[in-house]
């Protein structure tokens, strides 16, 4: 029994716009399939069932961008989100034997229907400043299916904190748009019903509220101090808080501002919930009883086979733990 929802549907209306392979939004695998969008795409997302390795997306520059071990993980398949650079055509390659292949083109800068105001002073809670969901432009209709919340909020005591990178381009000129794109991809294409992380941090050190947790003004937690379940580490989500640094941290380290915000956020959460950032734990999934030995503050790859949070970020986790404990 997993604590990650299964993809099943698609939706309309948002700050982003979506295109798809073929009229039905799906392609038959294995092989390649071209697609044309009616707009300039910011990102192209892909989801499939089968081998995680061997998929790729080719944009107008003619180069295949390989997918496989990025941040997003789904049970029994693979997922990828690739920056499209305003492309209007792209091609998808799927692994041999793949089924249920879905692709989506996302415009997260010129989408219809909503305007939003970024406040001059971010919201502050427990000493951490952050951009709330309304501030970065979250379209809350994405959380709904047939008039009901697609993935109702569930809350459990916090046990661990997991660090990710978003595996999106560095030197991002519009990180709020990237957050909207990730939200569209996670909530709609992967059908998680919301963005998969509890918090995101951009290169300037700005913190973004992630997964919806109610209207009590304390992000990620309910009024009783329990953590809302998100979708960042398949099979180990409940009681596990996910923080994603925006960018790709494979060979490039996080900026000083991003690292400082990560440490500050972890320190505040750890003190709030009485966690020791340098301790080792035995995580127990409250949904299915699965147990795993890990660090209180871990990287995504400590839970699952993935490159996330990137080698340079992973190498800094010891420093982050020590700084958050001081």
pLDDT score, position 186: 95
Domain membership of residue 11 (yes or no) is: no
Q: Residue 10 domain-assigned?
A: no
Predicted pLDDT at 122: 64
Query: Would you say residue 6 lies in a domain?
Result: no
If pLDDT is split at 50, 70 and 90, which confidence band does 12 have? Answer: very low
Judge whether residue 267 has pLDDT over 80: yes
pLDDT in tens, 289-314: 999 999 999 999 999 999 999 999 99
Q: What CATH number corresponds to the domain at position 22?
A: 2.60.120
pLDDT at residue 285, as a whole number:
98
- Kindly state whether residues 179 and 281 are assigned to the same domain: yes
Chain segment 137-174, per-residue pLDDT in tens: 999 999 999 899 999 999 999 999 999 999 999 999 99
Within a domain: residue 70? yes
- Which pLDDT belongs to residue 248? 96
What is the overall mean pLDDT for the chain? 85
Residues 182 and 89 grouped into a single domain: no
More confident of the two residues 94 and 326: 326
Choose the final residue of a domain: 106, 141, 172: 106
Look up the CATH number of the domain holding residue 303.
3.40.80.10
Same-domain pairing of 169 and 96: no
13 or 312: whose pLDDT is higher? 312
| Contacts of 242 by beta carbon, 8 Å cutoff, 6+ apart | 161, 162, 164, 196, 197, 198, 199, 210, 230, 232, 233
Do 89 and 150 lie in one domain? The reply is no
Are residues 177 and 287 both part of a single domain? yes
Tell me what percent of the chain is helix, strand and coil, each rounded to the nearest 5: 20, 30, 50
Radius of gyration of the chain (CA): 19
Provide the pLDDT for residue 40: 84
Number of domains forming the structure of the chain: 2
Question: Could you tell me if 263 and 165 lie in one domain?
Answer: yes
Single out the residue of 48, 1, 50, 44 nearest to residue 20, CA to CA.
44
pLDDT at residue number 25 = 32
pTM over 0.75: yes
Same domain for 36 and 159, yes or no, is no
Asked if residue 105 lies in contact with residue 191, where contact means CB atoms within 8 angstroms, the answer is: no
Strand 99-106 with 26-27, pairing: antiparallel
Q: Is residue 9 in a domain? A: no
Co-location of 76 and 132 in the same domain = no
| Boundary (domain end) residue, out of 77, 106, 135 | 106
pLDDT grade, residue 24 (50/70/90)? Answer: very low
Could you tell me if 203 and 147 lie in one domain?
yes
Is the pLDDT confidence value at 56 over 90?
no
- Are residues 149 and 84 part of one domain? no
Of 79, 106, 133, the residue that ends a domain is: 106
CA 153 to chain centre: 17
Whether residues 164 and 243 fall in one domain: yes
Q: How far is 301 from 234, CA to CA, in rounded Å?
A: 11
What is the per-residue pLDDT for 121?
58
Is the domain of 209 the same as that of 254? yes
> pLDDT class for 219, splitting at 50, 70, 90?
very high
Domain residue limits at 81:
18-106
Residue 162 within a domain? yes
């Amino acid at each position: 029994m997993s604590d990650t929802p299964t993809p099943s549907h698609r939706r309309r209306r948002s700050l982003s716009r979506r295109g798809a392979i073929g009229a039905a939004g799906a392609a038959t695998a294995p092989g390649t399939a071209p697609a044309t969008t009616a707009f300039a795409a910011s990102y192209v997302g892909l989801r499939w069932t089968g081998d995680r390795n061997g998929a790729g997306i080719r944009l107008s520059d003619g180069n295949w961008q390989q997918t496989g071990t990025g941040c997003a993980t789904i049970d029994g398949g693979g997922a990828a989100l690739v920056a499209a650079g305003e492309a209007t055509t792209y091609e998808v390659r799927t692994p041999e034997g793949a089924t249920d292949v879905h692709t989506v083109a996302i415009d997260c800068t010129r989408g219809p229907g909503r305007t939003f105001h970024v406040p001059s002073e971010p919201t502050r809670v427990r000493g951490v400043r952050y951009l709330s969901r309304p501030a970065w432009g979250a379209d809350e209709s994405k959380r709904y299916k047939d008039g009901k919340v697609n993935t109702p909020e569930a809350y459990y005591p916090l046990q661990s904190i997991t660090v990710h990178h978003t595996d999106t381009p560095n030197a991002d000129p519009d990180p709020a748009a990237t957050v909207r794109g990730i939200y569209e991809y996670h909530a709609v294409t992967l059908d998680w019903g919301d963005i998969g992380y509890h918090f995101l941090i951009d290169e300037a050190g700005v913190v973004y509220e992630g997964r919806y947790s109610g209207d009590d003004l304390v992000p990620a937690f309910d009024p009783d101090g329990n953590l809302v379940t998100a979708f960042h580490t398949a099979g180990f989500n409940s009681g596990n808080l996910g923080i994603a640094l925006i960018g790709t941290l494979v060979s490039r380290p996080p900026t000083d501002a991003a690292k400082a915000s990560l440490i500050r956020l972890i320190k505040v959460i750890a003190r709030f919930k009485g966690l020791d950032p340098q301790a080792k734990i035995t995580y127990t999934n409250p949904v299915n009883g699965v147990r795993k030995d890990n660090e209180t503050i871990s990287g995504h790859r400590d839970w699952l086979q993935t490159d996330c949070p990137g080698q340079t970020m992973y190498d800094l986790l010891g420093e982050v733990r020590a700084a958050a404990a001081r």
